[in-house]
């Protein structure tokens, strides 16, 4: 499917900056092989996991907590309270604040939301946002604008956002996000590109974005990443994850 992936390990630099790993993953409400899902997350060794389609209904908090524990993470924010997006983090993160945001509801369409947080890794302070945008073009464009507004209003110099955009890079929402932020795959492609492989042609509809002052060291589907098998990727959910290594300056 693509080249293998090798990314830097997480670390704190002498100048207070931090190298972190960020994973964005649509987990399809944990309806598939949750053991495979946990193995993929664990092998990627992320500092932050930007989840889409977290469980929403019966015992959703317990289900998400089990996934976090099985993959060496803790729940940061989101889930049912953000209409699906959620954030997990490693114990390396120091949490400053969290906020779950419900977006305006279009009658007849699914409710959407953002899971957001401000965290620190060493001397680096970072805003974080997980999203799952609409299937409907006009609503998706409005949500993309809200995403940029939300990041701008978080009061942070450095930020990362990611999720299931339900749109390919040529689409208007993807283009507007790429104009305001760095598209990780476009800046430093590693591993695989396509995140939706159930239909032909395969498509990249999931992405990780970062503000311009964050250095993207590598970003893509973790094909060939140590410990990540194609069997687990196929069994875990109907999307492939996106993994990025970022260097965040000290704040």
CATH number, domain containing residue 145: 3.60.10.10
CB neighbour class for 91 (10 Å; exposed up to 12, middle 13-18, buried from 19):
exposed
Q: What secondary structure letter does DSSP report for 132?
A: E
Domain that holds residue 143: 11-248
**Per-residue pLDDT, 82:** 97
φ, ψ at 41 (rounded to 5°)? -60, -45
Q: How far is CA 49 from CA 2, 130, 147, 153, 201, in A?
A: 23, 9, 18, 22, 27
Q: Is residue 6 part of a domain?
A: no
Q: Is residue 2 part of a domain?
A: no
pLDDT, mean of residues 101-116: 96
pLDDT, mean of residues 239-251: 97
**Per-residue pLDDT, 198:** 85
| Long-range pairs for 175-179: beta carbons < 8 A, 24 or more residues apart | 176/141, 176/144, 176/145, 176/148, 177/144, 177/147, 177/148, 177/207, 177/209, 178/209
- pLDDT surpassing 70 at residue 4: no
Q: Is residue 184 part of a domain?
A: yes
Using one digit for the tens of pLDDT, what is the confidence trace for 8-61? 999 999 999 999 999 999 999 999 999 999 999 999 999 999 999 999 998 999
Using one digit for the tens of pLDDT, what is the confidence trace for 210-228? 999 999 999 999 999 999 9
Q: Is residue 4 part of a domain?
A: no
- pLDDT surpassing 80 at residue 1: no
Residue 161 · residue 129 · CB < 8 Å: yes
Using one digit for the tens of pLDDT, what is the confidence trace for 228-244? 999 999 999 999 999 99
Q: Is residue 221 part of a domain?
A: yes
- pLDDT surpassing 50 at residue 199: yes
Q: Count the domains in the chain.
A: 1
C-alpha triplet 32, 37, 38: angle, nearest 5°: 135
**Per-residue pLDDT, 78:** 97
pLDDT tier at 173, thresholds 50, 70, 90:
very high
Q: Is residue 48 part of a domain?
A: yes
pLDDT tier at 3, thresholds 50, 70, 90:
low
- pLDDT surpassing 60 at residue 2: no
Q: Is residue 1 part of a domain?
A: no
pLDDT tier at 77, thresholds 50, 70, 90:
very high
pLDDT, mean of residues 94-99: 98
Using one digit for the tens of pLDDT, what is the confidence trace for 122-171? 999 999 999 999 999 999 999 999 999 999 999 999 999 999 999 999 99
Q: Is residue 126 part of a domain?
A: yes
């Amino acid at each position: 499917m693509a080249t293998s992936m090798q990314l830097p390990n997480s670390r704190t630099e002498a100048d207070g900056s931090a190298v972190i790993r960020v994973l964005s993953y649509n987990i399809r409400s944990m309806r598939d092989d949750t053991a495979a899902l946990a193995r993929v997350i664990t092998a990627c060794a992320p500092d932050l996991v930007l989840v889409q389609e977290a469980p929403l209904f019966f015992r959703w908090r317990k289900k998400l907590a089990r996934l976090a524990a099985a993959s060496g993470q803790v729940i940061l924010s989101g889930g049912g309270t953000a209409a699906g997006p959620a954030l997990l983090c490693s114990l390396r993160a120091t949490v400053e604040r969290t906020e779950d945001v419900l977006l305006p509801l279009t009658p007849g369409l699914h409710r959407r939301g953002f899971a957001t947080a401000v965290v620190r890794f060493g001397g680096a302070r970072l805003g974080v946002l997980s999203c799952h945008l609409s299937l409907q073009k006009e609503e998706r464009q409005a949500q993309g604008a809200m995403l940029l507004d939300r990041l701008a209003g978080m009061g942070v110099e450095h930020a990362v956002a990611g999720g299931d955009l339900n749109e390919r890079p040529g689409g208007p929402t993807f283009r507007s996000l790429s104009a305001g932020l760095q598209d990780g795959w476009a800046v430093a492609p590693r591993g695989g590109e396509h995140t939706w492989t159930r239909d032909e042609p395969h498509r990249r509809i999931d992405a990780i974005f970062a503000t311009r002052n964050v250095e993207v060291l590598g970003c893509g589907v973790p094909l060939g990443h140590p410990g990540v098998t194609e069997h687990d990727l196929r069994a875990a959910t109907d999307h492939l994850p996106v993994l990025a290594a970022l260097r965040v300056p000290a704040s």
